[in-house]
Amino acid sequence: MKNPFLQAILWLLLGWLPAASAQPTAEPTTADQGWQFSLAAGHGKISTPLSGRHALQGDVMPGVSYYGDNFYLENTHLGYSLLEQDHVYIDLVGELNEDGMFFEFDGVNNFGWWEAIGINRTGGVESGGKPPATPGQFEDIKRRLSYMAGISSNFTANGSTFRVSYLQDISGVHDGSELRLTLRQDWSWEKVQLQLQAGLARKDQQLVNYYYNLRPYEISGIPSWFELASTWNYHFGATFVYQYDEHWALLAHWQHQQLDRELLRSPLVRRADYQSRFVGVRYSF
């Protein structure tokens, strides 16, 4: 993936690292409000579970955030606070779906912000059932990124955050939904920050079949003979930050994503897991 614009959108989509990651452990104070920008440089790589696709790699990761009284933006993640208490906060949230990133960022398809939210600039909202031009191999199969929105409930205590989120496709791409359970633990020692995270996600049949099932016209000689069930995926990972001064920090991130083995029934999926990692430095403006 050589296009720097696509690399930037990919890292914004993932939103891995502190000060560039969605949903903080506590609501921001007045001092945190306003725009914040950062730029990380190093080496990032995401392996792919799909057949006929290449690992995603990038060297530059931008970060942008904004916090107001109720509204906040963290990269491509949007939020609006409905309830703020000492240990509980509830938000309306919206974000890009990650399942489409392996299709959009493989270097085969072009990507723009209109397409990211499901808008076909030549004809309105694109439906997941509309056939594209007939391809003949796995790497030519196209799927759109969808935009998911819903509600997130967060419970915090002693540096731990437990989050329950329900998200529904609002872009008309597949009309599917996700239920997510995430547990995160944060530690801080002077200039050092460490974050451990684990999570479980249930993806419904509409979402799963849109991204991972074949259409009869997509691969000659391989019929779409199966119907995939809803899946349970899980992940775990760690992020390390050494904050050298107000502007500069050293970063290291690693995450393992384990997919439901139900997906191995699809010829599109070659393995039931993938890894993501980033090592580098960050400059905050």
Structure tokens that stand for 49 in this block: 């579970």
Q: Which residue has the tokens 């079949």?
A: 209
Q: Which residue has the tokens 């009284």?
A: 69
What pLDDT is stored for residue 111 in this prediction?
A: 32
- State the residue range of the domain holding 226: 4-284
The SS3 assignment for 44 reads strand
What pLDDT is stored for residue 46 in this prediction?
A: 85
Q: What is the pTM of this model?
A: 0.78
Contacts of 207 (CB under 8 A, 6+ apart): 97, 99, 146, 169, 174, 176, 177, 178
Count, residues in the chain = 285
What pLDDT is stored for residue 274 in this prediction?
A: 92
**In contact, 261 and 233? CB cutoff 8 Å:** no
Tell me whether residue 73 is exposed, middle or buried, using C-beta atoms within 10 angstroms of its C-beta: 0 to 12, 13 to 18, 19 or more.
Answer: middle
Looking at residue 40, which CATH number applies to its domain?
2.40.230
The number of distinct structural domains making up the chain is 1
By C-alpha distance, which of 141, 147, 154 is closest to 178? 147
Structure tokens that stand for 261 in this block: 């083995």
Block means of pLDDT (10 residues each) for the chain, 285 residues, are 52 49 44 79 86 78 85 88 92 90 58 37 38 54 89 94 96 94 94 95 95 81 74 95 93 94 90 91 90
Residue 251 and residue 282: Cα distance in Å, rounded? Answer: 7
